[in-house]
Amino acid sequence: MQEASEPTEPTNEPSPGLVSTAIQAITQHIRSEGLAPGDPLPSEAAMTRQLNVSRTVVREAFRSLSAMRLIDMSAGRRATVAKLDTGAMSMVIEHGITTQQISVQQVYDVRRTIEMRTVALAALRRTDQEAQAIAQSARLMRENFKSPEAVMEHDIAFHEAIAAASHNPVFSLIVTAFSGVTRRTWVIGWRTRSSDEDQLKMIKGHEDIADAILKGDPRLAAEHMAQHFDKSVKALLDAGIA
């Protein structure tokens, strides 16, 4: 039975304006209450009373926040604050490429700028364990270079490990969000390196970056990262990707 205090709407579809207001109110509640990942949000019924809107509006607001990966929802349980998730950012980037609003080259230009900074910070801040993880990813690239898909996954892990070693979660969030684009373009660039020698040279570039991080040399690490991206962009241009 519908609660007496719950307003009704003249249509089945909630007003976008009311949903937007509800989204803002829920995110404001998270901030004002200082909620952390895993903390529960008020129930739909409680938010309905608080905002003086229908439960349909609140439900749609919760669904929208869940789609943006800002809250977690599961059947029969209260919604909770979500941990940082790269899914929404990754989808925006891939959508931009798919609809030709941004280009792969523009993405790589941004990546080059960001990852020169992350690698410099990693050289300064990494723990011994983090340096070993970065070097391990580079080593696995060499050991598996006859299997392009395996090399690609170790390559992605390599860059994500560097971002994590920067000890700045914003960099880690952004770099990880680029992984979807990387999986769409990586094999194409790999194929332009038609010989084992060329492919191993690319892997050697990753080993040089890992070595500079291990040595704690931010200037050298950034220099190697810049060279790596310049060569990667050239490989994509050679393959006809603009």
Residues in the chain: 242
Partners of 80 in the β-ladder = 40, 72
Closest CA to 232 of 208, 211, 201: 201
Closest CA to 159 of 108, 92, 235: 108
For 220-231, the pLDDT digits (tens) are 999 999 999 999
Sign (positive or negative) of CA dihedral 67, 88, 149, 185? positive
pLDDT at 3 over 50: no
Cα-Cα-Cα-Cα dihedral of 165, 168, 173, 178, to 10°?
Answer: -60
Contact 218, 121 (CB under 8 A): yes
The residue assigned the tokens 């719950």 is 6
pLDDT at 15: 79
Average pLDDT value for the chain:
91
Kindly indicate the confidence band of residue 12, based on its pLDDT and cuts at 50, 70 and 90. low
pLDDT at 236: 87
Look up the pTM and report it: 0.80
Among 53-57, 80-84, 86-90, 167-171, whose mean pLDDT is lowest?
86-90
pLDDT at 9: 46
Cα-Cα-Cα-Cα dihedral of 118, 124, 128, 133, to 10°?
Answer: 10
Q: What is the mean pLDDT of residues 48-70?
A: 92
For 178-203, the pLDDT digits (tens) are 998 999 889 888 989 889 999 999 99
